[in-house]
Amino acid sequence: MDAMAILSIFVLSVFVGFEVVSKVSSTLHTPLMSGANAIHGVILVGAIIVADHSETNLELGLSLAAIVLATINMVGGFVVTDRMLEMFKGQKK
């Protein structure tokens, strides 16, 4: 992909990231951090791609370790965030 397109995607994503969370109450800081934390677990996709392309045992071993860690990050992150938010359920005023 050409550099200009990537730069555009990057800059626009920065602005979107700034905008979506700019007005959040302190009550939700922890769940929001935890949710964002889970989203970067999508590095799992990258880990799978490098595992697919691995040729040596060293590369494969490192890739598989990355897959384990990324899965923990992603799945664990979403599950724990859901548990936090579950507590807020049923008391909306």
Restricting to residues 48-87, name those near other proteins by CB under 8 A: 48-54, 56, 58-60, 62-87
Q: Does 4 bind other proteins (CB under 8 A)?
A: no
56 DSSP 8-state letter: S
Number of Cβ within 10 Å of residue 90's Cβ equals 6
Q: How far is the CB of 2 from other proteins (least distance, A)?
A: 11
- Chain positions 21 to 50 lying near other proteins, rule: CB under 8 A, are 21-50
Nearest in space to 73 (alpha carbons), one of 47, 39, 50: 39
Q: How far is the CB of 55 from other proteins (least distance, A)?
A: 8
Q: How far is the CB of 32 from other proteins (least distance, A)?
A: 5
**Count of alpha carbons within 13 Å of 80, Cβ hemisphere only?**
16
